[in-house]
Structure 1
Amino acid sequence: MTTSFDDLLEANRRYAQDHEGGFDGIARAGVLMVTCMDSRIDPLAMIGLQEGDAKILRNPGGRVTDQVLVAIVLGVSLLQVKRVLVIEHTRCAMASSTEEQVKERVAEFTGTDASWMSIGVIEDQQATIRADVHKVRSHPLVPDSVEVGGFLYDVDSGLLTPVD
């Protein structure tokens, strides 16, 4: 039976031929990254790491949500995470429209009212990055020994800029 996933499953079979799994799942480089789901971002490559080195958490806008905080707590408590990067990016759809505009576009596409959803658009990326970094640093289950930094990734140049 042919499915719409056949090309991906075939690519996975090729990948699995050389895959050397079996390590314990810790973050070997002690890094956890929160970033956007944007396909222009290659999280490990952009900071010179490879598979197994870091925990990667992705969502629209790269926001530190309640679920992301749970993952960070687990990462620092159980998976040897010592550094957390919060990374938003230039030309992000979450930072280029209003909440209402995004809800209208979703409603137009689906034909269903989306006004009840909280999309979480970003009005000021610098301020949002600072606030999300503060959420992590001030969380009672994230030790002060964990380094937390905020960054803006430029999707055109590939460079990260620290946000203080």
Structure 2
Amino acid sequence: MSFDDLLAANREFASDFAYGGFDGVARAGVALVTCMDSRIDPLGMIGLEPGDAKIFRNPGGRVTEAALEAIVLGVHLLNVQRVLVVPHTRCAVASNSEEVIRERIAESAGVDATWQRFHVIEDQVATLGLDVHRVTSHPLVPETVEVGGFIYDVDTGLLDRKY
């Protein structure tokens, strides 16, 4: 498979590119940790535009060490004042066991996948609470930073605040 279609789309995108010279700060003061799921439009779901927010995506929308690093950088260097942690409904890592995901990956890959950890989420709301706490209790995230935990409904587009 080639990248020609994507490169053609990039040339079209660049033909009227409006973000050159932008300093990279979060103009709306927002950081968002969410899942890599393609049903999620991180900026659109909260009414923002490119340049408004810092976005960190990973399977399950978890506050990992790398996500915390991004949040700390955002807070201290890139104008982040609010952090949203946003996993979503019908998430593969929140609706399958580690064993089932490993089996599916092994079947697709044709090799053993029992050694790979996929960090499944057994209780999505409780895990979201732990992730919000990871941000609020981090020594480099000041109390002035507002942190919220939300579940995004992939069928309605609505956010449901849990924390």
**TM-score, length-scaled by structure 1:** 0.97
Q: Which residue does the alignment assign to 1:87?
A: 86
Aligned position for 1:137: 136
Amino acid at match of 1:59: N
What is the rounded CA distance, in whole Å, between the counterparts of 2:99 and 2:52 in structure 1?
39
1:18 maps to: 16
Structure 2 gaps of 5+ residues are none
What does residue range 67-82 of structure 1 map to in structure 2 within 5 Å? 67-82=66-81
| SS in structure 2 of the partner of residue 115 of structure 1 | coil
User: How far did 1:116 drift?
Assistant: 1.5
Distance 1:144 1:114 in 2: 41
Q: Which amino acid aligns with 2:11?
A: R
Q: Note if 1:6 corresponds to 2:1.
A: no
- Residue 13 of structure 1 aligns with an amino acid whose one-letter code is R
Q: Which residue of 2 aligns with 1:106?
A: 105
RMSD, aligned CA: 0.8
2-structure distance, mates of 1:84, 1:113: 38
| Rounded Cα–Cα distance in structure 1 between residues aligned with 2:84 and 2:104 | 31
Aligned equivalent of 2:30: 31
For the residues of structure 2 that align with 1:26 and 1:119, how far apart are their CA atoms? 32
Offset of residue 156 of structure 1 = 0.6
Percent identity at matched positions? 67
Q: Which runs of 5+ in 1 are unaligned?
A: none
